């Protein structure tokens, strides 16, 4: 069987088993059963998460190398002052699709920001034929640094403050789209199937020695010449198309300060859905693979609308979702045009992995593009925010139970695949030198978990109030201010009145995570009422004491949904008792997986959270025998039945269950 075939068969088996569990629980009556565990549904989530982890790995590698380069750049020794702004860029682009080469002529306007400027430094990838001229066609001399890809250009005349100079770059040849050696990923391609650049390194930009400089590139206008029948898209807006018979010239006009441009043309079919705010969202999909085009553009429009509603207005005129090539491996999120691996558009929108990558990349329109970051040691301030936004959008369209479980899987993958000695604070220089798995797990998953923990600590209303204030305040059309974790914390505190020092110390400036051990005790009182006492201890090795409360869910009587409480810590201990007039039938700690940490129940053997070890637990534990964490050949793994936490469910777990069989949960003093 293929891997997918196996997954299909497992799902069938699991669905049957899950139905059997439900039937058993129904026959037994709700008062005997703890919370329902749906193993089949959870396996679906696990598979989907693993697919999306793979698709996101490409972006994570790209992201980390960009931040590394930026950090290296800014630490560059004897860096020159570069007192200019690039205020306008005009690009003429043509390609020889068969030869895989491009031909560009790019005019930029630089403006001096102080008196006496006689040279400028521009970051540009130099191709085979490269020259720089002034506005009247005189060749200019320049030095080129191959390592940093910097052209230092002698200006034809010294500029005083606010004076401008036009520079014309002719840059042609092979743009270097070969896949990288290690991952085989490709961020551009020039062929008759498609010409695309998810980043345009051949366009000269101000050499950035600070984050302010990264974000100061002016507007970009672009003319793209294509063969007939090709459809083109760029981060700028399409203004008109000239049909010259043998070729088309597409004119694009920019309206915003460009930071991360992209372009593509191919024989695309296009599918457009307007957001309620009137912004067109267009899916560009290769002819012949367009079954889901309308649906995906509708999903894209829904995503843009959702983020506009909860954060701040979308300042771009449109959003283009572009089908690139399979070798892209994942997604890339320039400002108003996003690029994806080909099959992301060929899957049914009911399949979760594509939707989650679309919402992540479109999320970058806010995090990293509109809201600009200023700290290369905190890539989470755009990646974690984009990932949180994608997950949050997931809650709008999927069962919250599945999204909650997804956060648990993120944490489990982290603990399984990141060695504890590799763990680094999410804001630290170590995050740039971490291996790519560690980078992805911490920057993307822990980053999204940190925002979700803030949501839990502040409550969703205050949390969103803070997030939208932060987004508004730093939106690029309001101010050129950059963001950092400090500015984020300050804004959240100012908006909500909360003191978040300990939260940021625990989660942002320290590595590690809490390890909780918890127990519950149900007692019937003389008057027939009941109490539930829950006690949790933090037992992590580190000195860090976590202030964040734990959610406790208690199932009472025949109520279908649990009641939810907050268990507050004093130091490393939390201990609380709640009263009920009906018999409690189960409890769980951190059921929604709010907390980036381990939560171990002390009553070994209680798989279903009923606070006793009974026949239901035996059924679950027996079914899980042989299950191994993240192992497709041993898929019947449930963390609740892995009592010794060794990643596999075997005889020793069963023995732990037998040893406690018939016992009820108690709190030992």
- In the complex, the residues that contact Zn ion under the rule CB under 5 A are 59, 383, 386
| Nearest to Zn ion of 124, 386 (CB atom) | 386
Phi and psi for 659 in degrees, rounded to 5?
-60, -30
Beta carbon nearer to Zn ion, 117 or 371: 371
Judged by beta carbon, residue 358 or residue 513, the one nearer Zn ion is: 358
Please say which residue, 339 or 616, places its beta carbon nearer to Zn ion.
339
Residue with Cβ nearer Zn ion (204 or 300): 300
Nearer to Zn ion, 112 or 381 (CB): 381
End-to-end CA distance of the chain: 53
Q: CA–CA separation, 639 vs 637, rounded Å? A: 6
| Cα gap 297→485, rounded to integer Å | 33
Minimum gap (Å) between residue 357 Cβ and Zn ion = 9
Token pair, residue 23, equals 């039937």
Give 143's strand partners.
152
> Which of 112, 386 has the CB closer to Zn ion?
386
Q: In whole angstroms, how far apart are CA 562 and each of 452, 554, 556, 585, 606?
A: 21, 5, 7, 10, 17
Tokens 């999120």 correspond to 333
Task: Using the minimum distance from each CB to Zn ion, give the nearer residue, 59 or 85.
Answer: 59
Report the nearest approach of Zn ion to the CB of residue 69 (Å): 16
Contact indicator for 504, 450 with CB cutoff of 8 Å: no
- DSSP label of 441: I
Count Cα neighbours of 170 within 13 Å in the Cβ-side half-sphere. 9
Give dist(CA 421, CA 311) in Å, integer.
36
CA distances from 322 to 256, 300, 302 (A): 20, 11, 17
C-beta of 468: minimal distance to Zn ion in Å? 21
Q: Supply the minimum distance, in Å, between the C-beta of residue 487 and Zn ion.
A: 20
Q: Tell me the closest approach of the beta carbon of residue 386 to Zn ion, in angstroms.
A: 5
Least separation in angstroms between residue 267's CB and Zn ion is: 28
* Strand partners for 173: 102
* 658, HSE (Cβ side, Cα atoms, 13 Å): 7
Minimum distance from residue 261 beta carbon to Zn ion (Å): 17
Nearer to Zn ion by Cβ, of 373 and 552: the residue is 373
Burial of residue 255 (CB within 10 Å: 0-12, 13-18, 19+) is middle
Least Å from the CB of residue 233 to Zn ion: 20
Task: Give, for 464, the enclosing helix (H) or strand (E).
Answer: helix 460-474
* Residue with Cβ nearer Zn ion (447 or 466): 447
Looking at beta carbons only, is 383 or 606 nearer to Zn ion?
Answer: 383
Q: What angle do CA 348, 350, 354 make, to 5 degrees?
A: 70
Q: What is the CA radius of gyration of the chain?
A: 28
Q: Which residue number, 59 or 258, has a Cβ lying nearer to Zn ion?
A: 59
What tokens does 622 get?
């027996």
Structural tokens at position 339 = 């690029």
Alpha helices of 84-152 — where are they, by DSSP H?
none
CB-hemisphere CA count at 13 Å for 476?
A: 25
59/551 with CB nearer Zn ion: 59
Q: How far is CA 430 from CA 62, 141, 374, 400, 511, in A?
A: 17, 40, 17, 34, 11
What is the nearest approach in angstroms of Zn ion to the Cβ of residue 60?
8
Q: Which residue has the tokens 């989470």?
A: 380
Name 238's Cβ contacts closer than 8 Å, sequence gap at least 6. 232, 250, 251, 252
Q: How far is the CB of 67 from Zn ion (least distance, A)?
A: 11
39/45 Cα distance (integer angstroms)? 10
Q: Tokens 């108690």 identify what position?
A: 666
Query: Residues for the chain: how many in total?
Result: 669
Query: Quick one: 167 or 471, whose CB is closer to Zn ion?
Result: 471
Q: How far apart are CA 91 and CA 35, in angstroms?
A: 61
Query: What is the sign of the dihedral through the CA atoms of 574, 575, 579 and 585?
Result: positive
Our CB check for Zn ion shows the closer of 66 and 79 to be 66
Long-range contacts of 94-99 (CB under 8 A, 24+ apart): 94/224, 94/225, 95/190, 95/195, 95/225, 96/190, 97/190, 97/191, 97/192, 97/195, 97/227, 98/192
Instruction: Kindly state the smallest distance separating residue 330's Cβ from Zn ion, in Å.
Output: 9
> Could you give the CA distance from residue 465 to residue 52 in angstroms, rounded to a whole number?
29
CB of 383 to Zn ion, least distance (A): 5
Q: How far is the CB of 298 from Zn ion (least distance, A)?
A: 23
Nearest distance from residue 361's CB to Zn ion, in Å?
7
**Shortest CB 364 distance to Zn ion, Å:** 6
């Amino acid at each position: 069987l293929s891997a997918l075939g196996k997954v299909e068969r497992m799902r069938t088996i699991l669905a049957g088993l899950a139905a059997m569990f439900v039937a058993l629980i129904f026959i037994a009556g709700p008062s005997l059963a703890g919370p329902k565990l749906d193993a089949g549904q959870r396996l679906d989530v696990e598979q989907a998460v693993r697919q999306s982890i793979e698709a996101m790995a490409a972006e994570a590698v790209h992201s980390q190398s960009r931040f590394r380069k930026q950090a290296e750049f800014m630490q560059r020794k004897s860096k020159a002052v570069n007192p200019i702004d690039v205020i306008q860029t005009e690009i003429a682009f043509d390609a020889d699709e068969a030869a895989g080469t491009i031909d560009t002529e790019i005019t930029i306007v630089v403006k001096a920001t102080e008196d006496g400027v006689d040279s400028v430094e521009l970051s540009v990838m130099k191709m085979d034929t490269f020259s720089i001229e002034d506005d009247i066609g005189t060749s200019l001399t320049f030095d080129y640094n191959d390592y940093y890809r910097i052209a230092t250009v002698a200006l034809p005349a010294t500029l005083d403050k606010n004076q401008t100079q036009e520079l014309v770059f002719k840059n042609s040849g092979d743009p270097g789209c070969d896949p990288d050696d290690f991952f085989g990923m490709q961020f551009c391609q020039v062929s008759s199937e498609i010409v695309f650049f998810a980043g345009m390194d051949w366009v000269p930009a101000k050499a950035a020695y600070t984050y302010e400089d990264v974000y100061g590139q002016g507007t970009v206008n672009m003319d793209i010449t294509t063969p007939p029948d090709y459809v083109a898209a760029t981060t700028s807006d399409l203004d008109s198309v000239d049909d010259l018979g043998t070729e088309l010239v597409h004119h694009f006009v920019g309206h915003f300060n460009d930071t991360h441009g992209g372009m593509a043309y191919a024989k695309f079919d296009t599918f457009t859905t307007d957001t309620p705010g009137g912004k067109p969202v267009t899916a560009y999909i290769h002819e012949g693979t367009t079954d889901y085009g309308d649906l995906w553009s509708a999903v894209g429009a829904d995503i843009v609308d959702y983020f506009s509603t909860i954060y701040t207005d979308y300042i771009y005129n449109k959003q283009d979702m572009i089908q690139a090539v399979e070798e892209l491996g994942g997604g890339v999120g320039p400002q108003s045009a996003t690029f994806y691996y080909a099959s992301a558009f060929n899957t049914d929108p009911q399949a979760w992995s594509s939707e989650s990558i679309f919402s992540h990349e479109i999320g970058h329109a806010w995090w990293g593009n509109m809201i600009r970051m200023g700290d290369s040691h905190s890539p989470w301030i755009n990646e974690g925010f984009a990932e949180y936004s994608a997950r949050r959008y997931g809650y709008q369209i999927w069962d919250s139970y599945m999204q909650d479980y997804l956060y648990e899987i993120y944490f489990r993958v982290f603990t399984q695949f990141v060695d504890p000695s590799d763990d680094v604070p999410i804001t630290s220089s170590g995050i740039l030198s971490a291996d790519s798995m560690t980078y992805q797990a911490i920057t993307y998953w822990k980053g999204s978990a940190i925002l979700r923990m803030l949501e839990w600590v502040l409550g969703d209303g205050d949390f969103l109030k803070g997030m939208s204030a932060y987004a508004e305040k730093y939106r690029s059309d309001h101010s050129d201010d950059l963001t950092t974790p400090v500015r984020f914390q300050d804004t959240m505190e100012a908006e909500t009145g909360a003191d978040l020092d300990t939260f940021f110390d625990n989660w942002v400036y320290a590595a590690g995570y809490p390890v909780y051990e918890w127990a519950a005790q149900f007692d019937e009182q003389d008057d027939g009422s009941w109490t539930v006492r829950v006690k949790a201890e933090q037992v992590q090795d580190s000195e860090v004491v976590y202030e964040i409360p734990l959610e406790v869910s208690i199932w009472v009587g025949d109520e279908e949904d649990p009641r939810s409480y907050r268990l507050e810590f004093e130091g490393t201990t939390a201990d609380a008792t709640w009263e009920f007039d009906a018999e409690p039938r189960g409890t769980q700690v951190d059921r929604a997986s709010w907390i980036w940490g381990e939560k171990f129940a002390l009553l070994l053997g209680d798989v279903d959270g009923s606070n006793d070890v009974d026949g239901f637990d035996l059924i679950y534990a027996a079914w899980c025998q042989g299950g191994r964490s993240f192992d497709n050949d041993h898929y019947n793994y449930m963390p609740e039945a892995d009592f010794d936490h060794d990643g596999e469910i075997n005889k020793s777990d069963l023995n732990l269950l037998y040893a406690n069989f018939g016992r009820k949960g108690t709190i030992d003093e």
